[in-house]
């Protein structure tokens, strides 16, 4: 979806999906690295 967004320049839906995917990867990476707390503390 990221390449589709770059080619078209349209935010919906390709840009939205690409942005959400990047945010989720960043969140999971930070959690795996121990940078953020979890709910089970």
Q: Which of 7, 4, 37 is nearest to 21 (CA)?
A: 4
Task: Say if residue 13 is preceded by a cis peptide, omega within 30 of 0.
Answer: yes
Please write the tens of the pLDDT for every residue from 3-29.
Answer: 776 787 766 777 777 888 999 999 999
State the residue for tokens 């990221």.
2
Give the model's pLDDT for residue 34. 80
pTM of the model: 0.56
Q: Tell me the C-alpha distance between 25 and 33, whole Å.
A: 12
Which residue in this structure is represented by tokens 């953020």?
36
Is pLDDT above 70 for 31?
Answer: yes
**How many whole angstroms separate alpha carbon 31 and alpha carbon 23?**
12
Q: Give residue 41's pLDDT.
A: 54
Confidence check: pLDDT of 40 > 60: no
Structure confidence at residue 39 (pLDDT): 62
């Amino acid at each position: 979806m990221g390449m589709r967004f770059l080619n078209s320049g349209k935010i919906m839906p390709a840009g939205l999906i690409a942005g959400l995917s990047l945010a989720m990867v960043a969140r999971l990476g930070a959690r795996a690295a121990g940078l953020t707390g979890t709910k089970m503390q």
